[in-house]
Each structure stands twice: as C-alpha cells, then as structure tokens.
A = this chain, B = another copy of it.
Amino acid sequence: MDARVREHAAIIADHSTGIETGDNVVIQLPAAAEDLGVALHEICGDRGANPVYLNYSKRADRAFKRAADEFEEPAHRRALYEETDVFVIARGGANVTEDADVAPETNAAYNRAMEAVKRERLSKTWCLTQFPTAGHAQLAGMSTAAYEDFVWDAVSLDWEAQHAFQAELVSILDDAEEVRIRSGEDTDLTMRVAGNTALNDDGEANLPGGEVFTAPVRDSVEGEVHFDLPLYRYGREIAGVRLRFEDGEVVSHAADRNEELLAGILDTDEGSRYLGELGIGMNRQIDRFTYNMLFDEKMGDTVHMAVGSAYPETVGDDNALNESAEHVDMIVDMSDDSVIEVDGEVVQRDGTFVFEDGF
C-alpha cells in the first residue's frame, strides 16, 4: 500500500473527523479505494471504533435507479445512519460518466426520496474526500501518477495555516449585511448574508478543504450570474450556466451544454430554485481545474454558489433555512475583471483579497 494512503486515512481520522473510542463509523468507498478502507479499518480497530463498510458503486446505483419506477425512503439505511457518529465517504469511481444515462427526473425523484436520510447523514460528523483513480485522472487530463500527487498533496496541506488565512475573510463576513459579486459582463449578483454564519472550511467535512462559505438570505438574491467554469454532475458535463434571480428565486436559466440536466436539477423541488450556499475558494495549492467540484470549488480566484439545500449551521435562527433534496455547486472564475464587495467595500479584486495587499 502507498504510504500516502495511510497518511490520508490518518488525516481523515485525526483532523477531519476526530474518530474516538466507541464511535460508530460508516466508511463508504468505491472498489478502487480498498487500500484507504483497509487503513481506516486499522485506525478504527486501534481506537476502539466500530466500522461498517459500505460500497460506493455508481454502477450499482445506476442499475438500481434505471430499473425503478419510484423510490421510497429505505428504513434500514436510515436506521444505520441514525446510530452512526462519523461518516467517511470517498469519490473514486473507475468511470466518472458511469451514471450519464440516468434521466434527470429519475435523479430528482431519487433525491427527494432520500432527502431525510441525507439530512440525517449531514447532521453527523462527516468527511467527503477523494481517492485518486484512473477515471478521475482522465477527467482531469492527467496521468494517474500525477493525479495521485495532486490529490495526496492537496489533502496533506498545512490546515492550521490555511485556517488562519481563511479566518481573515470569516471575520469580514461575520459583520456583513450584503455581498455583491461582479465578474465580466454577465455576472452582477447581490445577496444579504446578515444573520447567517460564515464557516471556515479547513479540511473537515471536505478533504481537501479551502473555502469560506455561508448561506445567502433565502429571498434576497437578485441579479444575474454566469458560471464560466463547467461542472460534472450525474456523470455529465454542465457548462456555461446562466441564472437570473428575483426575490431569491431562479426565474430564468440557460446552459451551453446539458441544459435539460440543469432544468431537471432546478425542478427537483421548491428549494432547488433558491441558493443554499455562497462559497469563496481560498486554497491556492489547488492550482488547476480538474472537473471535480470537491477540488474546483476550493481553488483560489473563484466563488461558487449552490442551488438547493443550505447547511443548517450557516443559517441564523432568524433566517429561513432553504431545504431541498439537491445541492449543486457552480463556479465563477474571479481571476479577471471581477470584484467581491461586502457592504460596498471591495474585499477581493481579480482574485486578490484586501487583507493580502490592502489594495
């Protein structure tokens, strides 16, 4: 086993989740990530934690979804999650387009049926991470060996230093009333964040981490946004997304590629037409786009917004929590002709923060 796999497992257990004696742990991995599964089981044994090992198989998921007419909440999965303390989930399928032929409305129906189960999972300590596989390397246009370096370097960042860097933005957003994001000709969006909480993602729920994120006040989003970086979702590329918001709601949408998949996402439920997250990527070590949101959304010089569910811990008691079975992040490149304003003050220009050079 590559020594970096054991390091990766140790970071998950120590830094990201803090696995302790007596913890009930669920480890959900694709077949290719068995080494990581072995390393995590070793840690569980060593600490007196109890692992359950789920298979994360897009092939099986695809077969199930395509064959089904309707979906219901699986009581046994819910019971498992209710008794779980820590979830560790890794991406790393052999073929990232494995579910490319599942209909958008099928995914939406499945997600609706699983919404309460997903909420249960997210209420526990969890970590989403990546195992480097040939399929993901191919998507990134990289050799498998270079992609392994990319992933394992990214997860073993100095998270304390990263936390300190991001804390400067958190302190700005803590006192903020309104955020405005402008980029090029096509993006000018304002949203209130007053009363909500900005969180410092330093590699816990996401490994790698490297963003500061909060929730927009649900009905406050106004304007237009052009997500100029593409994303993969349900095994397909969605590119060139444009959304227009009024009173927080998506009132028009377009995409250059797979617009019908985007439409299916927005039609999942009421909440999937509202923003649940605003995130600002601050991880400068992630220096290339790899078509993998877990990494792409953390890149420096980017912001991302998610349609769908908000993280409850980011939403203040006086603000509405946007609930949805969906949560789809999309990215705006902020490296050029772009500013982030907070209450009328510029806090980032063309990717550089005010606390970096003071302008």
A residues with CB within 8 A of B: 22, 24, 26, 29, 31, 34, 37-46, 48, 50-55, 57, 59-61, 63-70, 72, 74-84
A54–B57 CB distance below 8 A: no
Shortest Cβ distance from A191 into chain B, in angstroms?
38
B60–A53 CB distance below 8 A: yes
User: Inside 8 A of A41's CB, which chain B residues have their CB?
Assistant: 57, 60-61, 63-64, 67
User: Inside 8 A of A82's CB, which chain B residues have their CB?
Assistant: 76, 79
- Residue of B whose beta carbon sits closest to that of A80: B80
A57–B34 CB distance below 8 A: yes
User: Inside 8 A of A54's CB, which chain B residues have their CB?
Assistant: 52-55
User: Inside 8 A of A83's CB, which chain B residues have their CB?
Assistant: 75-76, 78-79
A76–B38 CB distance below 8 A: no
- Residue of B whose beta carbon sits closest to that of A81: B76
B57–A37 CB distance below 8 A: yes
User: Inside 8 A of A48's CB, which chain B residues have their CB?
Assistant: 68-70, 72
Describe A's contact surface by its main secondary structure. Answer: helix
B34–A46 CB distance below 8 A: no
User: Inside 8 A of A61's CB, which chain B residues have their CB?
Assistant: 41
- Residue of B whose beta carbon sits closest to that of A94: B34
Shortest Cβ distance from A120 into chain B, in angstroms?
12
User: Inside 8 A of A26's CB, which chain B residues have their CB?
Assistant: 76
User: Inside 8 A of A65's CB, which chain B residues have their CB?
Assistant: 45
Extra contacts, 20 of them, besides A41-B57, A41-B67, A55-B55 (Cβ < 8 A), are A22-B72, A24-B75, A31-B55, A34-B55, A34-B60, A39-B63, A45-B64, A45-B65, A45-B66, A48-B68, A50-B74, A53-B55, A53-B57, A53-B60, A75-B83, A76-B81, A76-B82, A77-B80, A78-B83, A79-B83
- Complex CA–CA separation, A57 to B37 (angstroms): 9
- Complex CA–CA separation, A66 to B44 (angstroms): 11
B44–A51 CB distance below 8 A: no
- Residue of B whose beta carbon sits closest to that of A73: B50
- Complex CA–CA separation, A22 to B72 (angstroms): 8
- Complex CA–CA separation, A48 to B69 (angstroms): 7
- Complex CA–CA separation, A28 to B328 (angstroms): 31
User: Inside 8 A of A67's CB, which chain B residues have their CB?
Assistant: 41-46
A42–B69 CB distance below 8 A: no
- Interface centre among A26, A29, A44, A45, by most chain B C-beta atoms within 10 angstroms, is A45
B84–A55 CB distance below 8 A: no
Shortest Cβ distance from A242 into chain B, in angstroms?
35
User: Inside 8 A of A34's CB, which chain B residues have their CB?
Assistant: 31, 55, 57, 59-60
A79–B79 CB distance below 8 A: yes
- Complex CA–CA separation, A70 to B26 (angstroms): 19
- Complex CA–CA separation, A50 to B72 (angstroms): 8
Shortest Cβ distance from A157 into chain B, in angstroms?
26
- Complex CA–CA separation, A59 to B38 (angstroms): 6
- Complex CA–CA separation, A43 to B66 (angstroms): 10
Shortest Cβ distance from A180 into chain B, in angstroms?
45
Enumerate 17 A-B pairs (CB-CB under 8 Å) in ascending A order: A24-B77, A26-B76, A31-B31, A34-B60, A37-B59, A38-B60, A38-B63, A40-B60, A48-B68, A48-B69, A50-B76, A52-B77, A53-B54, A54-B54, A54-B55, A79-B82, A79-B83
Shortest Cβ distance from A98 into chain B, in angstroms?
10
B44–A64 CB distance below 8 A: yes
Shortest Cβ distance from A62 into chain B, in angstroms?
8
